[in-house]
Homo-oligomer: A and B are copies of this chain.
């Protein structure tokens, strides 16, 4: 039941967001019937051989695509990064220790807020005084037991340029840039990420962590929040969100077939170059983020003339561009360019900006 409209939609949504068309087709098929089993993916037991294989393939693909050493565990859980704020604080802050937070945006601030409810936590650095327009340098040393960062700030369009080095276990919320580039995994004790950007649909959250660093908090952690409890059950402590995990597995298969995270890094760099070049060239638009902190995933920009904002949104809508309106915290526009977004869509956006300059400049 595809749309009869012939216009291509360019999906710049910040998340949930564009996924590969082949993944959508296969996910749709599986909701009718999984691999000739006679049963829908969503009506079979999660303990069935068919679904256990899906879960194991998903975990295995995370492991191979990020080149994880054996000591890292991979889990697919629920509750998004929002529950992850709590889970990571409980699992990686010793009961008599504390966690340092790099406060680089809305989600980082929320992570710190949750951690404070469970124990000692404080800001190590913050860019709040400049409206979160940059990633402040991360000090290489911390007096806390662990350090937490948010690698990409979807709302403000800022991103760490690489994998930081700190002298304490590093916990990273990578919800909006995981699988967009290779990661030096040895620098992280824990990575967690809501699926709904580069990995799959909303409804599951990935945890990757060094088993040697976990389980040392000395806390009596509630079962669902205890990573060890889930690991002991091979990520099946309770009924998993089968559709979200299956579709994430399909997206990871696609990632592998397309050349993996190295290929994504090249493609994403080309897309970012395309849009940032236009933002810098076009006198009608201003980039929001400090140039040294720009995100490859989310480009944030505003109109030089406020009255142009609604007009540019109309021009985008007319060109089939979806999800370009900026978050209310920043205003203006946000172009989210996750893995599945083709360069051709970014080129269309750049052309609309050029045309807008010709007609409104």
What is the interface of chain A, defined by CB distance below 8 A to chain B? 1-5, 7, 9, 11, 13-19, 24-25, 27-29, 31-33, 36-40, 42-46, 78-83, 85-86, 110, 113-114, 117-118, 194, 196, 201-204, 220, 222-225, 237-244, 247, 322-323
Contacts and interface: CB of A to CB of B under 8 A. Distances in A.
Nearest to A15: B239
- Among the interface residues A40, A223, A237, which one has the most CB atoms of the partner chain B within 10 A? A40
Given A32-B1, A239-B202, A46 B220 contact: no
A-side binding surface: helix, strand, loop or mixed?
loop
- Among the interface residues A19, A27, A79, A222, which one has the most CB atoms of the partner chain B within 10 A? A222
A203 B78 CA distance: 8
Given A9-B38, A24-B40, A28-B28, 11 more contacts: A15-B239, A19-B40, A28-B29, A42-B247, A80-B239, A83-B224, A85-B224, A86-B225, A196-B239, A203-B203, A203-B243
Contacts of A18: 43
Given A86-B222, A241-B244, A31 B33 contact: no
A79 B114 contact: no
A220 to B, nearest CB: 6
A219 to B, nearest CB: 10
Contacts of A31: 24, 27-28, 31
Contact of A16 (B118, B239, B322): B239
Copy total for this chain:
2
A79 B87 CA distance: 12
A223 B42 CA distance: 29
Given A28-B29, A117-B220, A194 B239 contact: yes
Contact of A240 (B15, B32, B117, B202): B202
A78 B7 CA distance: 36
A33 B244 contact: no
A241 B323 contact: no
A16 B242 CA distance: 9
Contact of A46 (B114, B202, B240): B202
A244 to B, nearest CB: 6
